[in-house]
Amino acid sequence: MAPSLHQYHISLLSSLLILLIIIISSPQLSLSKPQKPPPKALVLPVSKHLSTLQYLTHIKQRSPLVSLQLVVDLNGDFLWVGCDNYTSSTFRVVRCHTPLCKSLARSFDNGCGSCDNQKKGPRCNPNSCVSFPLNPYLSDPNPNYSELSQDVLSLQTTVDGLNPGRYVSIRRFPFTCASDYITQNLTGSGMAGLGRSPVGMPSQLSSAFGFAKKFAVCLPSSSSNGVIFFGDGPYVMLPRIDISKPLIFTPLLINPLRRTFINPNGEASNEYFIGVKSIKINDKVVPLNTTLLAIDKSGNGGTKISTTVPYTVMHTEIYKAFTEAFVKAAVAMKLERVAGVAPFGVCFSSKGVASTRVGPAVPTIDLVLQSEKVVWRIFGANSMVRVKEGVMCLGVVDGGVGRRFDTHEYYDTMATIVIGGHQLEDNLLQFDLGASMLGFSSSLLFRQTTCSNFNFTTKA
């Protein structure tokens, strides 16, 4: 007997029902909630640790997520953490010969290392990609053998540049898994490297989410949270001031020859240099041998920007000329010089010194860049350090005459000027790695805001 119309309907209906169930339960075919658009920018809080003067940030990593405190290293090649007690269900080791590994170990045998002398664990795997993290706070910069690894990283987004938003995760974010030995002297369990290396945080985050290869640093002058932005502006501070405009731009320079543990013959540096052509104090040129300001063919010289030195360091010859000129200009403004207070050589009585919106009224310092018209002007809030009641010092230290390198010294270039944290605070610095340009704001105090005015709800 042929199936009745009724039976036919039932079988058609049930087929449809089964098809519907398949559609709903299959993730590829699902017509469920639309995907959230990828974030345009991410934010990290950054605070100042008042006894070590290190700049600290917090990230979430691993599965389940663990919150980590890291020291910010503007010139660091990558994110690295002490791994002795590492546990995570999503940890992966990066193998050598892979493109990611070769991008890190540019000239080193495809990055293949060997950790035969150590016990197996998260830091010792066969065919792994060798990586040598640098802790600039250690006296012996020779790093321990470490491995490039990957794990989940979770960061906070921002939609409007003023408020933090939802968290987003990257499943395989590269980082270096290091021995806890090299976390000594850090106020944290590793470092957040913001250098221009292909495995550095800025490059990795912009390629993970497809936003511009730009990031910006706004260091606080206190323990309350400043902010690091990944991606383009607007960067907005309370009361709703877009500090990403206007900025002054200068080329970021590449030091062609930094020696590293992996490559003692030297390779292009991932650090951030700018071209300071001369220095002026109260509009008068400081008499200097300008050869010292340039990067020479052995990779020495030049002006580097750093978050791991608390105060600007100058080569002795520059330091002498600079401090002499500053003292002369200060005395002409009737400031009274007093005894130096280590590590500073030039100090003044702060009694009777007028205070302005941008700090004590002292001579202005101009770093003259690619032309006479492009100037990074430094005011009292960034040039002077209050060391005790009634005494303030010029926040610059004598860096000595520097060394010439032999093959036993690694990971360092002797820049003749290293612009340090105190000089960067409450200034916005935007690093555009695509265009290789630095945009800077000068003091935000002029604009009646500070780097601590991003609308983080939890203050550090």
Name the residues that contact ligand NAG, by CB under 6 A. Answer: 84-85, 137-140, 142, 144, 162-163, 179, 181, 184-185, 289, 291-292, 455, 457
In 179-233 the beta strands, taken as DSSP E runs, fall at 190-193, 214-218, 226-231
Closest to 453 in 3D by CA, of 157, 232, 241, 160? 241
Rank residues 33 and 408 by Cβ distance to ligand NAG and give the closer one: 408
To ligand NAG, the closest distance from the beta carbon of 16 in angstroms equals 48
Q: Which is nearer to ligand NAG, 110 or 185 (CB)?
A: 185
Shortest Cβ 314–ligand NAG spacing (Å): 14
Nearest distance, CB of residue 388 and ligand NAG, angstroms? 22
Q: Which is nearer to ligand NAG, 189 or 423 (CB)?
A: 189
Q: Which two tokens stand for residue 73?
A: 């290293």
Q: What are phi and psi of 318, to 5 degrees?
A: -70, -40
- Among residues 179 and 298, whose Cβ is nearest to ligand NAG? 179
Rounded least distance, CB 100 to ligand NAG, Å: 24
Q: Nearest distance from residue 59's CB to ligand NAG, in Å?
A: 18
Shortest Å distance, C-beta 458 to ligand NAG: 10
Q: Rounded to the nearest 5°, which phi and psi values hold at 5?
A: -55, -35
Which residues does 139 contact at the CB level (< 8 Å), separation at least 6? none
Query: What's the rounded Cα separation, in Å, for the pair 104 and 163?
Result: 34
We find the least distance from the C-beta atom of residue 115 to ligand NAG, in angstroms, to be 9
Closer to ligand NAG by CB, 84 or 242: give it.
84
Q: Which residue has the tokens 């540096």?
A: 269
For the CB of residue 259, give the shortest distance to ligand NAG in the complex, in Å: 18
- Cα–Cα dist 428/247, whole Å: 9
Other C-beta atoms lying within 10 Å of the C-beta of residue 385: 18
Continuous segment of H or E residues that includes residue 45: strand 41-48
Rg (CA), the chain: 26
Report CA-CA distances (Å) from 457 to 48, 61, 453.
Answer: 17, 21, 11
Classify burial at 404, counting beta carbons within 10 Å of its beta carbon; exposed 0-12, middle 13-18, buried 19 or more.
Answer: exposed
Give 85 or 371: the residue with its C-beta nearer to ligand NAG.
85
Select 322 or 348, whichever has its Cβ closest to ligand NAG: 322
Q: Is 354 exposed, middle or buried (0-12, 13-18, 19+ CB in 10 A)?
A: exposed
Find the angle CA(389)-CA(386)-CA(363) to the nearest 5 degrees.
120
Comparison of 218 and 378: residue with beta carbon closer to ligand NAG: 218
157 contacts 42 by C-beta, under 8 angstroms: yes
Query: Residue 431 CB, nearest distance to ligand NAG (Å)?
Result: 26
Nearer to ligand NAG, 84 or 267 (CB): 84
